[in-house]
Amino acid sequence: MIKMRDLLRGTYHTMSRFHDEREFERAKVNTAITLYYGHPQKVCEALCVNISKNGMGIMTDKVIPMRTECKVKIHDGQTNKNEYQAMVEIARIFDLEEGQFFLGVKILIKY
């Protein structure tokens, strides 16, 4: 027989572990980036505000449709050997205020 306390204990540990992993994986940054997407190619200047192993949080004044794949150029002041640093996919879009959007992207490939 399964006891309620065992179910709750398992749920609590699973939820807290997920929260902790996500919280510690993200690094807060404030780095200019450029997104390249579409055919013909469109360009979007943006600001990366957080980054993790699997994704990025991006502030921009353009809406890029969900599931759009974009090439990312990071302007970090370093000499980048590759033309692009990653291929990402738009996973979430949040309308913050008029003309400002937060994009959650999934990193597909790191170059």
Single out the residue of 89, 71, 88 nearest to residue 80, CA to CA: 71
Q: What is the mean pLDDT of residues 58-83?
A: 88
Structural domains of the chain in order of their starting residue, each with its CATH number: 27-110 (2.40.10.220)
Supply the mean pLDDT for the chain.
81
Torsion of CA 61, 68, 111, 54, to 10 degrees: 80
Instruction: Name residue, tokens 């996973």.
Output: 91
Q: Does position 100 have pLDDT exceeding 60, yes or no? A: yes
Per-residue pLDDT tens over the stretch 13-48 = 444 444 445 555 789 999 999 999 999 999 999 999
CA 14 remoteness from chain centre: 23
Q: Which amino acid is at 80?
A: N
